[in-house]
Chain A
């Protein structure tokens, strides 16, 4: 439904986006991850037709954004970075303006505004000037504007930025509910958000795609994938770690330094989970442990390893 073909954007000598290609089919929520300045927003600005690519293009439901910009823009709902809106209008006027531009009049426009206000929970602030709204409400008005015309392609640049935890939870539910039949891209730097709503994640840095997979696949790249953390009481026998490390499935054991109290990290040798093996030995020896947990993997480790490979890894 959305196809990005060899997008390149140069600002003078700076290459902001360097040959980015990917496709988003219907039903997918793609999380666009990257450090600040990685080229996420620039890529989104090119897909939505705000910036003209240096080379390459984006095809939106069969319409090339460069050759048929109007047809493509009709099918996109876009929340730009920072959720801009006209501060002197109230939310209802603002959504009315967007509805008119998108070709909805009279009763149809009012019906759509009421429905979206209900969905996004902004009905009680519809008649307040946008400049007086809190950051969270302003962001939601921006999302409402992007969804008003029920677009096939939804592109949201940091949709949960500035929302409190409850509002974040709600917004993620809304995004999940939108998913059937639509191609959705959200950019974020919140890794838990990717795990919560995305069916696929792309990590981008210095304008290049560095990783592309489901959140589970990306997390499996972490050295903590299938690792086991064993919590031990104060003054536990220091030989425990050494004995665990000699188990056949375990590659190494390290003292945990994570503020969760004393403990040992056990890293597996192969792809098989080791938690059963560890639990068996603990029971056989009768060690007094305070906790035992297996990790799926840590997206933030993978993110750091990919985007800042020279930085010290945990």
Chain B
């Protein structure tokens, strides 16, 4: 626990040691805001909710989350520090969890900086703040699942660019699975069970369920098990590929 915390602190600080943190936060807020105002009609729809902010978030994360996760292990391999790191008296699990938590915490910081949107709807109307809280929680959980996937990909390569591209591709598949573009043609011929399974595997379906304000166990289990499974895969991949 103490060692996990030490690793967490070093990793989090290393985001801020380079311009990455600031560039990420600025782009996240600018892009998120742009999508909410221009594509999501934040004001024009005259609704006191954050739907227009959260609607586009999976697609925003698709591009930005891999930028956070790509360095987790690939950078250690490129610098050779992985050998130093893994010969310190730490458990592999502590290393994997410490790194993941740092990335997840950073994503949480970026997400929480969208608070002016929340202030705005509270200033202009009488929003259901329960839905707002649920939406933030859902968004953060989705970021966690995406980071866990990206961390596992990062463990397989010494190139951060490869880690970025592969993670973005995987996340695209996971997001797109829940859209009508994929599901509609599938409905024409596939058995309903398969259509349901594809929809259930999608990040977007579970995310939208939560942003409607309904936090249900299956959605929490979905994100939780994605995180746990990919942290496990991450540990296995580090163990298998650390010497390459």
Contact = CB atoms under 8 A, between A and B. Distances in A.
Interface of A: 45, 48-51, 70, 73-74, 76, 78, 80-82, 84-89, 93, 97-98, 100-103, 145
B14 A89 contact: yes
B87 interface: yes
Contact of A50 (B3, B10, B87): B87
B18 interface: yes
Nearest to B87: A48
Q: Which among A85, A86, A145 has the highest number of chain B CB atoms within 10 Å?
A: A86
Contacts of B180: none
Given A86-B14, A88-B17, A101 B79 contact: no
B87 A87 contact: no
Contact of B6 (A81, A84, A97): A97
A86 B87 contact: no
Q: Give the dominant DSSP class at A's interface.
A: loop
Interface string B148-175: 0000000000000000000000000000
Interface string B6-33: 1100100110011000000000000000
Nearest to B83: A80
Contact of A101 (B14, B80, B90): B90
A44 to B, nearest CB: 10
A80 B80 contact: yes
A85 B75 CA distance: 12
B91 interface: yes
A98 B81 contact: no
A108 to B, nearest CB: 14
Given A50-B243, A51-B243, A89-B17, A84 B79 contact: yes
A74 B242 contact: no
Interface in B63-106: 79-81, 83-84, 86-91
Contacts of A51: 243
13 contacts: A45-B243, A50-B243, A70-B91, A80-B83, A81-B80, A84-B83, A84-B84, A85-B81, A88-B14, A100-B6, A101-B7, A102-B88, A102-B89
Contacts, number: 63
A97 B81 CA distance: 13
Contacts of A82: 80
Contact of A73 (B79, B89, B243): B89
A103 B86 CA distance: 16
Nearest to A88: B17
A84 B85 CA distance: 10
B81 A88 contact: no
A288 to B, nearest CB: 58
Given A80-B83, A86-B10, A89-B14, 15 more contacts: A49-B86, A50-B86, A50-B87, A73-B87, A80-B80, A80-B87, A81-B80, A88-B18, A97-B6, A97-B10, A98-B88, A101-B89, A101-B90, A102-B88, A102-B89
Q: Which among B3, B84, B88, B91 has the highest number of chain A CB atoms within 10 Å?
A: B84
